[in-house]
Amino acid sequence: MAQVINTDNSNVRTILTGDRPTGRLHLGHFVGSLKSRVQLQEKHRQFILVADMQALTDNNGNPAKVRENVLEVVTDYLAVGIDPQRTTICLQSALPAISELAMLYLNFTTVARLERNPTIRSEIVHRGFERSVPAGFLCYPVSQAADITAFDADLVPVGEDQAPLIELANEIVTRVNNQSGKSTLKNMEGLYSETPRLPGVDGKSKMSKSSSNSITLGSSPEEIRAAVRQMYTDPKHIRVSDPGTVEGNVVFSFLDAFDQDKNEVDALKEHYRAGGLGDMVLKRRLEDLLQSLLEPIREQRKRFAADPEYVLSVLRTGTEKSRDVTSETLCRVRKDLGHFIL
Ligand code: ATP
Ligand code: MG
């Protein structure tokens, strides 16, 4: 299902993506979505939403974590090259039209449909919610449909875990349009990078902020080294001469994601399978790649982190601009659906 980024930018698309301020952004964000956003901002109309309301759906008891990570996430955007002149960065909680749209959309889906969503199902298991899943968490895909449609976005560069959520958002769009009898909302398309799911360093699940299995974009050289050293490889590959398994081997997943020399990676895989190639050689190669990728990002990050007033002003300006866009959508939806408007 991975789809290579379409760099044919002949027609301008409206893009909406976002991240939950639940921690620092990591390499999974970088290859899954941030890298595409940096490219896409050149030719398209791009909005990035810091989804702090969504973050509360599973962090309600820890508002400080969400609050403290808002500017951290914006700092990460700036560090990787998101340019506020080209991309509008905004804050979900300061855009009430999104919450109002979400409230309306809740009536365009069912509890059964939300409970069937495979991403939600696995996140419920991962977070140990069982039957005490907060209602807000079960419904966050509806609020995500509101995020995307509020900006009239038609392209959403995301990781693989988001595919079922985009499907649901498109269902809601179709139902709203069927009821209004007009093209009130636009359908959207997910844009998946060549690495739609980067595993965590432990190899157990996707790299994510809520598992301690990530390499954040601001990692120090020592942290990068330690993370690569502890990466899961093949437990049966004990002696260098033993044949090794490439599938499920995190080091190879990372080389696939970060090594530009695809022929060399293929040769290394062959050598590893045959035996005679040690994990340390591969890990050293990967570490060098990650050190050179993250060094400039870390330096930029330090620069922006030293100027929190600037980071805040970027978010304020972007949010102001987004307020008009999202309010207009809400008015249109309510008018098209024939609601009473005071
Ligand atoms: P949390 O654990 O709090 O849910 P997260 O690490 O999953 O955090 P999100 O803010 O939920 O990050 O995701 C933001 C975007 O990054 C989404 O488009 C998601 O698909 C993408 N993304 C997150 N992790 C990865 C990954 N490991 N590989 C590829 N894309 C990813
Ligand atoms: Mg997530």
Query: Tens of pLDDT along 238-257?
Result: 999 999 999 999 999 999 99
Is the CB–ligand 1 distance for residue 162 below 6 Å?
A: yes
Per-residue pLDDT for 195 more than 50?
Answer: yes
CA distances from 325 to 97, 151, 193 (A): 9, 6, 27
Query: Tens of pLDDT along 21-64?
Result: 999 999 999 999 999 999 999 999 999 999 999 999 999 999 99
Per-residue pLDDT for 7 more than 80?
Answer: no
Is the CB–ligand 1 distance for residue 92 below 6 Å?
A: no
Predicted confidence at residue 130, as pLDDT, reads 84
Query: Tens of pLDDT along 87-132?
Result: 999 999 999 999 999 999 999 999 999 999 999 999 999 899 988 9
Q: What is the mean pLDDT of residues 181-188?
A: 98
Q: Whose CA is nearest to atom 26 of ligand 1?
A: 28
Is the CB–ligand 1 distance for residue 161 below 6 Å?
A: yes
Predicted confidence at residue 244, as pLDDT, reads 96
Which residues make beta-bridge pairs with 330?
A: none
* Residue from 80, 167, 209, 213 to probe ligand 1 pocket by mutation (most atoms less than 8 Å from CB): 209
* Residue from 49, 77, 208 to probe ligand 1 pocket by mutation (most atoms less than 8 Å from CB): 208
Contact 73, 218 (CB under 8 A): no
Q: Which of 91, 116, 114, 103 is nearest to 19 (CA)?
A: 91
pTM summary value: 0.95
Beta strands in the chain (DSSP E): 14-19, 45-50, 87-91, 155-157, 189-191
Contact 233, 251 (CB under 8 A): yes
CA of 158 to the centre of ligand 1 (A): 8
Predicted confidence at residue 9, as pLDDT, reads 52
Contacts of 228 (CB under 8 A, 6+ apart): 201, 251, 283, 286, 287, 290
Q: What is the mean pLDDT of residues 269-281?
A: 97
Is the CB–ligand 1 distance for residue 208 below 6 Å?
A: yes
CA of 234 to the centre of ligand 2 (A): 27
Q: Whose CA is nearest to atom 25 of ligand 1?
A: 28
Residue with tokens 């844009």: 191
Contact 98, 51 (CB under 8 A): no
Longest alpha-carbon distance in the chain: 76
d(CA 187, CA 172): 9
Mean pLDDT computed over every residue of the chain: 95
* Residue from 31, 161, 162 to probe ligand 1 pocket by mutation (most atoms less than 8 Å from CB): 161
Ligand 1 atom closest to the Cα of residue 200 is 27
Distance of CA 96 to the CA centre of its chain: 22
54: alpha, beta or left, given left = phi > 0 and alpha = psi -120 to 50?
alpha
Which residues make beta-bridge pairs with 48?
A: 17, 89
d(CA 89, CA 47): 6
CA of 262 to the centre of ligand 1 (A): 25
Structure tokens of 88?
């509008």
Q: What is the mean pLDDT of residues 262-284?
A: 97
Considering every ligand atom shown, identify the ligand nearest to the alpha carbon of residue 119 and give its number.
2
Per-residue pLDDT for 4 more than 60?
Answer: no
The fraction of the chain above a pLDDT of 70, given in percent, is 97
Distance, first Cα to last Cα, the chain: 45
